């Protein structure tokens, strides 16, 4: 970034005027005491913007939150892990509405001022009998320094919570921007692909915030993949309450540009954190496509490479296998000429003009042995570029995802199915 900012502690709790809370309901497992229901609340009115999955099968909370966002600003977000409330029909919509309503009542808000998000298993009803009784405790627990509890409550197969916050100056005022995110599985580019909550005390109009969010999502969450599976629940929600005391930013003014850059940087860091903490991931790989005729060609190449099971398996094995990379470039449907393609791995040439380069194999293997490395694919046909962030595919990923039967067994015990 070409302006300076400071990393500060925390995530969504860092911005002024936001309170957070989280409780344990045992949504997935009644015997567990891990946090699984979270609440974010802006003490003062705020503006909000969001993006949602483009999967046509949308979870109930996605439908409800989209509807509320359309009607005006969202001032509170209630989110649970352990059940996606997806493919749950009218009952699911009722449950999502019920979650909003009970938060709205407790906080003196309109129901449409509350956003709702869920993540977990698809197709099983929400265990509302365990969730509803915890609502009063959730609301009473709201406090300024509990952002980390929210970050922990929304994760599922993630190994740790993921949050970042920064601060920067806008005129005479210090502005804070922070967020948290959950990812791990069902991660695929093309629209926000997880849950992400961001708060800021910047003073920005609803229109400007919406534009900034769309731009930042396009360059962050839409650029990552772990397993190529787009979720039914992906949601990014950003709240801005102006509590920093700064005057409202002018559209396209320097402050607004600065804010957009800060938001883009933050989202990209959160998106990368999702890939690094992907299910059973051992490698974080940046795929940088250059020299394409068009942006779309570059994107097709990046997506084909980042999603190839064989390419991702070879990364897991520490094999600098450029043959598999170029084979994925070939079926990407982008306009390419095999004899022009250069591929480098960790800055070392692996393929030049479609043929094996003469870099010693030891150097290429050393590059792929790193936990994070970059693949550059130069099509040498134009000026367009596209960058994506991917992971390896491990035997442990498949093993981890073999069965969700335990969810069903609990739902049966709960009398929900």
Q: Is 408 exposed, middle or buried (0-12, 13-18, 19+ CB in 10 A)?
A: middle
Q: Per rule CB under 8 A, is residue 124 in the interface with a second copy?
A: yes
Return the range that interacts with a second copy (CB under 8 A); candidates 44-52, 111-119, 245-253, 301-309: 301-309
Taking the C-alpha atoms of residue 23 and residue 131, their distance in angstroms, rounded to an integer, is 10
Other beta carbons within 10 Å of 243:
21
Give every CB contact of residue 3 below 8 A, 6+ residues apart in sequence. Answer: 168, 258, 261, 262
Question: Which residues, 126 to 155, sit near a second copy by CB under 8 A?
Answer: none
Q: How far is the CB of 184 from a second copy (least distance, A)?
A: 12
**Binding window for a second copy (CB under 8 A); candidates: 153-161, 194-202, 224-232, 266-274:** 224-232
The answer to whether 204 and 262 have CB atoms below 8 angstroms apart is no
Q: Which is nearer to a second copy, 121 or 256 (CB)?
A: 121
Do 379 and 341 form a contact (C-beta atoms < 8 A)? yes
Q: Tokens 């969450």 sit at which residue?
A: 221
Burial annotation 188-200 (CB, 10 A radius, 16+ → b, else e): bbbbbbbbbbbbb
What's 233-274 look like in SS3? CCEEEEEECCCCCCCCCCCCCHHHHHHHHHHHHHHHHHHHHH
Site stretch for a second copy (CB under 8 A), options 69-77, 171-179, 207-215, 387-395: 387-395
Given 193, 199, 235, 359, the catalytic residue: 193
State the Cα–Cα distance between residues 130 and 149, nearest whole angstrom.
19
The C-alpha R_g of the chain, in whole angstroms, comes to 22
CB of 104 to a second copy, least distance (A): 27
Nearest residue to 20 (alpha-carbon basis) of 116, 163, 141: 141
Closest distance of CB 131 from a second copy, Å: 19
| Closest separation in Å from C-beta 407 to a second copy | 9
Distance, CA of 91 to chain centre: 27
Cβ-based nearer residue to a second copy, 263 or 336: 336
CA dist., res. 215 & res. 393, Å (int): 29
Cα–Cα distance between 122 and 278 in angstroms, integer?
19
Q: Is 228 in the site for a second copy (CB under 8 A)?
A: yes
Residues 50-79, mask of contacts with a second copy (x by CB under 8 A): ----xxxxx---------------------
Binding site: what residues are annotated?
156, 182, 193, 279, 401
Site for a second copy in 321-380 (CB under 8 A): 321-324, 326-331, 336, 338-339, 351, 353-356, 361, 365
The count of chain residues that interact with a second copy, using the rule CB under 8 A, is 68
| C-beta of 42 vs 231, nearer to a second copy | 231
DSSP assignments along 187-202, one per residue: --SSS--SEEEEEE--
| Among residues 37, 86, 164, 302, the one that binds a second copy under rule CB under 8 A | 86
Binding site residues for substrate, as ranges? 156, 182, 193, 279, 401
C-alpha span between 135 and 138 (Å, rounded):
5
Main-chain phi, psi angles of 212, to 5 degrees: -65, -40
Per CB under 8 A, the list member of 1, 143, 144, 309 interacting with a second copy is 309
Residue whose CB is less far from a second copy, 139 or 329: 329
Q: Is 308 in the site for a second copy (CB under 8 A)?
A: yes
Nearer Cβ to a second copy (33/338): 338
Does residue 313 belong to the site contacting a second copy (CB under 8 A)?
A: yes
Residue 126 or 165: the one with the smaller Cβ distance to a second copy is 126
Active site residue 119: no
Q: Give dist(CA 58, CA 227) in Å, integer.
A: 19
**Smallest distance, a second copy to C-beta of residue 190, A:** 8
- Binding residues for a second copy, rule: CB under 8 A, are 54-58, 84, 86-89, 121-124, 185-186, 188, 227-232, 307-310, 313-314, 316-319, 321-324, 326-331, 336, 338-339, 351, 353-356, 361, 365, 393-399, 401-405, 408, 412, 417
């Amino acid at each position: 970034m070409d302006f300076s900012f400071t990393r500060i502690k925390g995530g969504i709790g860092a911005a002024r005027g936001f309170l957070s809370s989280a409780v344990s309901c045992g949504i997935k497992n009644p015997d567990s005491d891990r946090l699984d229901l979270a609440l974010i609340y802006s003490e003062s009115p705020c503006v909000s913007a969001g993006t949602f999955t483009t999967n046509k099968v949308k979870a109930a909370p996605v439908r409800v939150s989209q509807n509320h966002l359309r009607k005006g600003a969202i001032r509170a977000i209630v989110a649970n892990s352990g059940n996606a409330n997806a493919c749950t029909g009218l009952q699911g919509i009722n449950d999502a509405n019920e979650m909003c309503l009970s938060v709205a009542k407790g906080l003196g808000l309109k129901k449409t001022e509350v956003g709702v998000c869920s993540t977990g298993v698809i197709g099983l009803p929400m265990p509302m009998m365990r969730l509803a009784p915890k609502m009063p405790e959730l609301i009473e627990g709201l406090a300024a320094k509990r952002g980390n509890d929210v970050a922990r409550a929304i994760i599922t197969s993630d190994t740790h919570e993921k949050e970042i916050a920064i601060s920067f100056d806008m005129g005479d005022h210090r502005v804070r921007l922070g967020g948290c995110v959950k990812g791990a599985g069902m991660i695929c580019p093309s629209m926000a692909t997880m849950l992400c909550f961001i708060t800021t005390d910047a003073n920005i109009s609803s229109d400007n915030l919406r534009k900034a969010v769309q731009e930042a999502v396009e360059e962050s969450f839409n650029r990552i993949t772990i397993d190529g599976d787009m979720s039914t629940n992906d949601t990014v929600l950003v709240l801005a309450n102006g509590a920093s005391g700064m005057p409202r930013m002018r559209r396209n003014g320097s402050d607004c540009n600065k804010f957009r850059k800060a938001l883009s940087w933050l989202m990209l860091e959160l998106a990368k954190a999702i890939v690094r903490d992907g299910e059973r991931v051992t490698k974080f790989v940046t795929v940088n496509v250059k020299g394409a005729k068009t942006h779309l060609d570059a994107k097709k190449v990046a997506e084909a490479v980042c999603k190839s099971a064989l390419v991702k398996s070879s990364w897991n094995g520490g094999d600098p296998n450029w043959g598999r990379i170029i084979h994925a470039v070939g079926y990407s449907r982008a306009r390419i000429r095999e004899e022009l393609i250069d591929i480098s791995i960790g800055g070392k040439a692996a393929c030049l003009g479609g043929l094996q380069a003469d870099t010693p194999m030891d150097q290429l293997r050393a590059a792929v042995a790193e936990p994070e490395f970059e693949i550059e694919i130069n099509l040498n046909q134009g000026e367009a570029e596209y960058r994506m962030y991917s992971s390896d595919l491990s035997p442990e990923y498949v093993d981890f995802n073999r069965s969700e039967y335990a969810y069903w067994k609990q739902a049966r015990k709960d009398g929900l199915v």
